Structure 1
Amino acid sequence: MYKNLRGRPGVALAAAAVAQFVFALDMSVVNVALPVIRTALGFAPLDLSWIVHGYALTFGGLLLLGGRACDLYGHRRLLMGGLAFFGLCSLAGGLAQAPWQLIAARAGQGLGAAAAAPAALGMLMSVFPEGPRRVRALGVWSAVNAAGGALGVLAGGLLTEYAGWRWVMLVNLPIVAAALVLVMAVGTAGARTGRRERLDVLGAVLATGGVGLLVFGVVRTDTRGWASPATVATLVAAAALLAAFAFVESRAAEPLLRLGLLRSRWVAGANLLVFLAAAGQFAAAYFVSLYMQQVLGLGAATTGAAFLPFSASLVAGTVLATRVTAARTPRAALVPGALLAAVGLAWFACISPGGSFLTDVLGPCLVTGVGVGLVLAPVAAAATAGVASGEAGMASGLFNSSRQLGGCVGLAALATVAALRTGPATDPAALNGGYALSLAVASCLFVLAAVVAIGVLPRSRAAVPDSQPIAVTTNRPEGTL
């Protein structure tokens, strides 16, 4: 495997953080601009959602492949290549003249992000040995990641209103350029040692197809419904491909995802927890944004600015979580964080048609932000606890896949919940009822996340020796590396 990357750890952290910021930003920056984009490029109503779905589909579907590829070919190489491709697709999207061009550019952005996101996290694991320094680094990475998603709403509103919709794509270019400069300053990958491993092609096809179909089936429920034959057939096909993937990986000499990783309570618990937390967080941000615009009547730029208190409290929660995790364990921050986020979302569920930002949004924003910050920083540390450096990308790809799938599934499921409550009505009171119910369900998801943290994650780090492989058994034949 590759030796640790050379270079200053602070530069590596800055490179990974800036890269993750632009990927998180792109998850939300386009949303506010969708109505303007529809008019400007002549999108059909049913095609408009593919501006969002195209990115989610390739990003979520290719993360496992990207994670393993960075283990085999180098974190720095995949990070630079993914960033460069992401930047080129951002430029293409900003210059798009037809709907298919913008959708293709968004899909290309997802492909670049799928290569670079696990590489960024894997690079941090290579540069920072397990312990307090890694916890602090992952805390910074998590805070920047969450801030990127939250600030995307603000940036999208301001850019759309004052600069034009094309800048929600073009704004990525200077950020990508800064990330590339930082990555180049990190240094080069060390020499490769041992036998050269091959990419698990069959596993890659099955994983990409299975995860891609799962994301595809879920994101189309906004137009086809969960019970439609097309949705059911897609989800059944996804389950079949993922089951075949698990079977193949259990027998592969050089697997895309070593199933032994999931025997670790840290890795399994953290991935389940981040799935639930992402489902609740993504959906909550979506419905709070809709509440402010559709019920309170705020403009796009004002709505984006209203998320600033959430971003500030989230950073505060991340700083606190980093200190707690460094002194104790990820579990010590995850349990209170998930419960605090649940309280904040339950408070959000009390929104009313006659409310205001000060009475219905500000307080829940602050409480939820601290709680989410307490969850995001330590869950990344838990998901990589005890993982060998040669499998850093594999663990990172799995973690990012769990978060991406959680966000897609959670948003689609809670959108259905809101639609069932609202029905055909479009008045503010009816919409408020649907949003409130979905926020209450999002609160329950964080309660479940707390239960997972209590019941699955070990109480101490002693359960996983520092910097050691999680499982000593492998699926490789004797005599192989």
Structure 2
Amino acid sequence: MLMIILDGSITTVALPSIQRDLDFTPSGLSWVVNAYVIAFGGLLLLAGRVGDLIGRKKMFTTGLGVFTAASAACGLAATPAMFIAARFAQGVGGAMVASVSLGMIATLFPQPAERAKAFGAFSFVGAGGASLGQVLGGTLTQALSWNWIFYINLPIGAVALTLALRVLSRESGPGLRAGVDILGAILVTSGLMLGVYAIVSAGAHGLVGTHTLGFAALAASLLAGFVLRQARAAQPLLPLRMFTSRTIAGANLVQTLLLAGLFAFQVLIALYMQNVQHYSAARTGLAMLPAALTIGAVSLFISARAIARLGERHTLLIGLALVATGIGLLTRLPAGSAHYATDLLPTMLAVGGFGLAITALTTLAMSDARPEDAGLASGLFNTTQQVGAAVGVAALTTLATSHSTALTAIGTNPATALTAGFHLAFATGAALTLAALIAAATILRTKPATTTTSAVEIPADAPEHHIHTGV
């Protein structure tokens, strides 16, 4: 997962160099990101279900191999077409890995305290990978070339694959003969891909433009057809019983709202620092580093203890309250010179509450999953994460741009207009996070921390030393 998270943040820093060396057009350059996101977001559910059928270890190791090989292809690409195809393949491999990762953790760590530590470490890797990518991206591109931001995945992938083959217990699912809903797979994969495409292209075509709304409507129709298919299929790809669990349904809804607000904040605050405060790219990365470090530290050292003492629900509520407060503080950012210690740093520290929230959400989202549905629950959780982040970034950046443009058109000072647009977007992001807090308080039930159990059980053939490894 470090490799997958690292790849997302490390690529954005190198986009100008990639564009120059491979002769990308400005519109074509967006596909460096979009090709990966569309494949990744569109295939998570399908990969999670197939992983349950053929064995999650097999899906994980195969996906790891695909991602590593595709990384090498990205580094060797000589044309835009080759590069975009390799990025799509990276997205496929990333989806295969991510779709079953949480299910494997839930299986390997059946005890609530151990599982909370494992999910905390998992969340720490995400925060660490994001911040490490910003540093490594600029360093490798400047010292060597952009190709090395992909070559760095090769040793990581080789080590991870070797360890996975050696230490993960072999598990076998019922097999593909147990039934793969082909029509359902086509409907959900095409629907998700078109939906993600509509979202990521909204910046170029407008959030309410004909292009965006047309593809969004088509995606919605395909997904509606998928739901109808799941209600009637003998062997559904996504059994609707998953959503009869208030815990699973509620955790995914809360995550969608939370990620919509938080990921948009990360994009918009960087734009504010560079376009209003005139920070350099390097200074912007350093200014945002406390947020990543705080999230990582809270995930690794505090979240498991908080869950053990307070339970998942109360830990989640505290984390959501901190994030909502942190984003809300940004509505007071000045159009003139800002003081980092008083105007920006408090938010960077408050959003560390995400480390509490995401660990608790991950635990809740997996807690009611049946053993045979662990991969599917993992894929569903990752899908709502991707969709929430993409929707939030597209909607809030468009909202900020539209408001700023309208103010500039009537003669408002450019810096003031930009700041007002950011204020509106930050207020919306805080409202989304507050909605997540309300949803968590009303939908999710309290589970005593000392008696929490899971429907996911440890396989009978799993050696004990595999259960207690490496947290």
TM-score over 0.5 for the alignment?
yes
Secondary structure (helix, strand or coil) at the match of 1:46 reads helix
Change beyond 3 A, Cα 1:96–1:428: farther
Amino acid corresponding to residue 449 of structure 1 in structure 2: A
Q: Which residue of 1 aligns with 2:225?
A: 244
Q: Which residue of 2 aligns with 1:347?
A: 329
Gaps of 5+ in 2: 457-471
Q: CA RMSD in A?
A: 2.3
User: Are the aligned partners of 1:386 and 1:465 in contact in 2 as well (CA < 8 Å)?
Assistant: no
1:422-461 alignment runs, 5 A limit: 422-423=404-405, 427-460=414-447
1:188 to partner: Cα distance: 4.0
Q: Which residue of 1 aligns with 2:145?
A: 164
Aligned counterpart for 2:367 among listed residues 371, 385, 396: 385
Q: Does 1:329 align with 2:306?
A: no
Q: Which residue of 2 aligns with 1:290?
A: 271
User: Are the aligned partners of 2:251 and 2:361 in contact in 1 as well (CA < 8 Å)?
Assistant: yes
User: Are the aligned partners of 1:151 and 1:307 in contact in 2 as well (CA < 8 Å)?
Assistant: no
Deviations 1:403-444 (A, max 9, x none): 000011111001111111221869544333323332222111
Distance 2:422 2:30 in 1: 20
User: Are the aligned partners of 1:349 and 1:440 in contact in 2 as well (CA < 8 Å)?
Assistant: yes
User: Are the aligned partners of 1:343 and 1:367 in contact in 2 as well (CA < 8 Å)?
Assistant: yes
Distance 2:265 2:318 in 1: 19
User: Are the aligned partners of 2:264 and 2:392 in contact in 1 as well (CA < 8 Å)?
Assistant: yes
1:461 to partner: Cα distance: 5.2
Higher mean C-alpha displacement, 295-304 vs 415-424: 295-304
Change beyond 3 A, Cα 1:199–1:146: farther
1:31-110 alignment runs, 5 A limit: 31-110=12-91
Change beyond 3 A, Cα 1:94–1:435: farther
Aligned residues: 449
Change beyond 3 A, Cα 1:213–1:99: same
Gaps of 5+ in 1: 1-19, 470-481
Q: Which residue of 1 aligns with 2:468?
A: none
1:178 to partner: Cα distance: 2.4
1:143-162 alignment runs, 5 A limit: 143-162=124-143
1:358 to partner: Cα distance: 3.4
1:361 to partner: Cα distance: 2.4
Q: Which residue of 1 aligns with 2:348?
A: 365
Secondary structure (helix, strand or coil) at the match of 2:14 reads helix
Amino acid corresponding to residue 307 of structure 1 in structure 2: M
Distance 1:351 1:237 in 2: 39
Deviations 1:172-212 (A, max 9, x none): 22222222122122244135569951222111111101111
Amino acid corresponding to residue 416 of structure 1 in structure 2: T
1:191-230 alignment runs, 5 A limit: 191=172, 196-230=177-211
1:137 to partner: Cα distance: 1.1
1:278 to partner: Cα distance: 1.2
Secondary structure (helix, strand or coil) at the match of 2:29 reads coil
Amino acid corresponding to residue 119 of structure 1 in structure 2: V
Deviations 1:211-252 (A, max 9, x none): 111101111111111222222221111111111111111122
Distance 2:66 2:372 in 1: 25
User: Are the aligned partners of 1:136 and 1:326 in contact in 2 as well (CA < 8 Å)?
Assistant: no
Distance 1:193 1:214 in 2: 31
1:257-276 alignment runs, 5 A limit: 257-276=238-257
Aligned counterpart for 1:399 among listed residues 369, 381, 384: 381
User: Are the aligned partners of 1:155 and 1:304 in contact in 2 as well (CA < 8 Å)?
Assistant: no
1:41 to partner: Cα distance: 1.9
1:155 to partner: Cα distance: 2.7
Q: Which residue of 2 aligns with 1:185?
A: 166
Distance 1:35 1:195 in 2: 44
1:306 to partner: Cα distance: 2.7
Distance 2:85 2:414 in 1: 35
Change beyond 3 A, Cα 1:175–1:117: same
Distance 1:281 1:31 in 2: 18
Change beyond 3 A, Cα 1:146–1:199: farther
Q: Does 1:312 align with 2:293?
A: yes
Distance 2:311 2:72 in 1: 43
Change beyond 3 A, Cα 1:397–1:435: same
User: Are the aligned partners of 1:314 and 1:373 in contact in 2 as well (CA < 8 Å)?
Assistant: yes
User: Are the aligned partners of 2:123 and 2:296 in contact in 1 as well (CA < 8 Å)?
Assistant: no
User: Are the aligned partners of 1:143 and 1:376 in contact in 2 as well (CA < 8 Å)?
Assistant: no
Q: Kindly report structure 1 stretches of 4+ aligned residues shifted beyond 6 Å.
A: none
